[in-house]
Amino acid sequence: MQTAAIDPETSPKKVRQLAAIMFADMTGYTALMGENEGEAKILRDRQRQTLEKFIPGHNGKIIQYFGDGTLSIFNSAIDAVQSAIDIQKELQKEPKVSLRIGIHSGDIVYDHEGVYGDSVNLASRIEALSLPGAVLISDKVFDEVKNQPAINTVLLGKYNLKNVKRQVGVYAVANEELVVPTASQINVKAGSEKSIAVLPFVNMSADPENEYFSDGISEEILNALTRVDGLQVTARTSSFSFKGKNEDVRKIGITLGVSTVLEGSIRKAGKRIRITAQLINTADGYHIWSEVYDSDLEDIFQVQDEISLKIVNRLKENFAVKKEEKEHIIKPLTDNIDAYNLYLKGRYHWNRSNPEDIKKAIAIFEEVITMDPDFALPYCALSFCYSFLGSTGIMAPTEAFPKAKDYTLKAIELDPNNAESHLSLATIKFFHNWDFDGAEASLNKALSLCLNSSLINQVHGWFLIAKGDFIKAIEKMEQAVKLDPLSMPLMSNLADAYSFAGRFEEALAQYDRIIEMDPTYRRGFEGRGMIFLAKGENEKAVKDFEQYHKLIGNPLKGLSSLGHAYAAAGYTDKAFECLEKIKQRERDEPGTILHMDYAFLYSGLKDFDKAFHYLNKTYEQRIGIACLGMIFCIRYPMLKELKTDPRFKELTQKMGIDR
């Protein structure tokens, strides 16, 4: 715990008070002293001069200098944060000073020996999480400043900090010129010790076609680890993004926010396999454990189980996972190893997520079922394939979703303890049947079987948005992003959840981060445009929607949000031009259903009769992703006028989400 000396002549014997506590620490000072003592002293003096200007200037008091850092207190959390913003902006100018700042507010005690208390300790822990140029604040400080228009914040996550009895929400101040750390960077600094990313194993076989097998085994181990209580496992989307890249594991650890990485290789020749696996500490790049497995293909489940058990138990030794795992993590899924091998090939095509590969996957999974009718997983996989075809409009929903439901019910009959099957059933009930209670029951069953996957958290977040419980939806979406930090669709869902809750600055910061990661990701511009509409910044919205439309690359697509924005900005003629192009698309693509496009554009034109006409048509047809789009659409904050119409309540009552 940090303590600070106070002048004993002016301090009372012992005083307890509430205060905002700021720790500021200059990074790299010791190393710089060794390299260039003169420069180090110049930067230290510049730091002190800046602190001595802005801390008293915001009614604060510097209590102690310690080495290259300071401890200060303020009577107001708002003053403390404003002071920190000014300090970091000043120190970003040349010569730059790398300063970390952390702020917490709470009870402190001071006497002639110093300042102390749990709040002082917590403030120092938050400062230790920070990065140069950043200002991090606790959840208590956030509660004090969240309504201040001059202070923007972004939630980074909730953390278990050393010697702190509760989980602490940590926010970054997101004002211009300040560094905003990613949640992944903070996860590593916070010591998210029970965390792992399984990288795709390298195919070392002579036949490059065996890549499906190496990918499949990696994914099977990854999925197995998600069922281990107390272990955070990065989702496939993010961990497989490093496939074929010779990236330093320390950088991977920072990017994904994990403390360990499993990597390896697989050589398959006929019925013989060799698997090499290494568990690596991302903090220093050193191997925690490494082993080579030579076996027959028939023993593949035993090898996967052995690898998974060793990972968990080594993490238990090093990082205190809740308990040692002695039971099997991976159990044989089928006695027909050829069927399993073919199943992995089907998963390979499924994961490519395009219509052509999905259709290949369907053919493969059907062949697997012919080989082993009692193998549950291909039925579940077929369910997801048909849900994909139905929700994207490639297959008529009335044909696709009943097929998906039949397959997932068969999968549950064969293996009632498979989480993916219950999750599949939940999404079918949600997308096609609009059975929110039934969907939630299936989701809860999946949650009880698979503790912490990004997909489950995402779907749970959708349900909570449908129900209007945005605070809990944010928690689920934040957890999904934590487990899959490179997934931009998940990041977009989180930004939308912030927006629905009225937390527009956090939503904008999230979309800014998405666009920075990939300026060609069109959903980033669409989502940010929605927030600008909600804020009444219509010209900014028009600009983003124009970019969204441009990135789509089709003159007849992506026009509903653009037309809505044109109408909101007063460009009614342009809005009607968008409407005519939507009608043209409907003529050119007879099978395409554009009810939601019409509904959103007409709501911008304030023609609510037509808007409700098309919303009701969407409800009646219940077309997969369009249903999800409708649920999100009616939650958008910019539709305030639409929501005051009595027909809105009638619609939400029919949908079962009148909450």
Q: What is the pLDDT of residues 506-543, one digit of tens each?
A: 888 889 989 988 899 999 999 999 999 989 999 999 99
* Alpha-carbon torsion angle 315, 197, 219, 319, nearest 10: 10
Measured at the alpha carbon of residue 377, what is the angle toward residues 375 and 378, in degrees to the nearest 5? 85
3-state helix vs strand vs coil in the chain, percent to 5 = 60, 15, 25
Long-range contacts of 367-375 (CB under 8 A, 24+ apart): 367/342, 368/339, 368/342, 368/343, 371/336, 371/338, 371/339, 371/342, 372/334, 372/335, 372/336, 372/339, 374/334, 374/414, 375/333, 375/334, 375/336, 375/339, 375/340, 375/343, 375/414
CATH number of 336-449: 1.25.40.10
Q: What is the pLDDT of residue 184?
A: 61
Tell me how far apart the alpha carbons of residues 174 and 133 are, in angstroms, rounded to a whole number: 11
Residues 6+ apart with CB under 8 A from 165: none
* 14-181 CATH pick, 3.40.50.800, 3.40.50.970, 3.30.750.200, 3.30.70.1230: 3.30.70.1230
Tell me how far apart the alpha carbons of residues 565 and 90 are, in angstroms, rounded to a whole number: 38
Q: What is the pLDDT of residue 94?
A: 86
Q: What is the pLDDT of residue 322?
A: 46
Q: What is the pLDDT of residue 2?
A: 40
Rg (CA), the chain: 28
Measured at the alpha carbon of residue 426, what is the angle toward residues 420 and 432, in degrees to the nearest 5? 130
Tell me how far apart the alpha carbons of residues 212 and 122 are, in angstroms, rounded to a whole number: 48
CATH number of 195-332: 3.40.50.10610
Before 489, cis peptide (omega within 30)? no
Q: Strand pairing of 60-66 and 69-74?
A: antiparallel
Tell me how far apart the alpha carbons of residues 194 and 318 are, in angstroms, rounded to a whole number: 9
Q: What is the pLDDT of residue 193?
A: 54
Residue ranges matching CATH 3.30.70.1230 in the chain: 14-181
Asked whether 23 and 127 are in contact (CB, 8 A), the reply is: yes
Which tokens is 572 given? Answer: 């009614």
Low-confidence spans in the chain with pLDDT less than 70? 1-13, 28-35, 67, 111-114, 160, 162-163, 183-185, 187-193, 314-332, 393, 450-452, 621-630, 658-659
Tell me how far apart the alpha carbons of residues 595 and 586 are, in angstroms, rounded to a whole number: 10
Q: What is the pLDDT of residue 420?
A: 87
Say what the pTM is: 0.70
Asked whether 140 and 176 are in contact (CB, 8 A), the reply is: no
Residues making up the chain, counted from first to last: 659
Residue ranges matching CATH 1.25.40.10 in the chain: 336-449
Residue ranges matching CATH 3.40.50.10610 in the chain: 195-332
Q: What is the pLDDT of residue 187?
A: 63
Q: What is the pLDDT of residue 8?
A: 40
**Which secondary-structure segment (H or E) carries 68?**
none
Amino acid at 290: S
Asked whether 30 and 82 are in contact (CB, 8 A), the reply is: no
> How far lies 212's CA from each of 341, 349, 599, in Å?
9, 8, 43
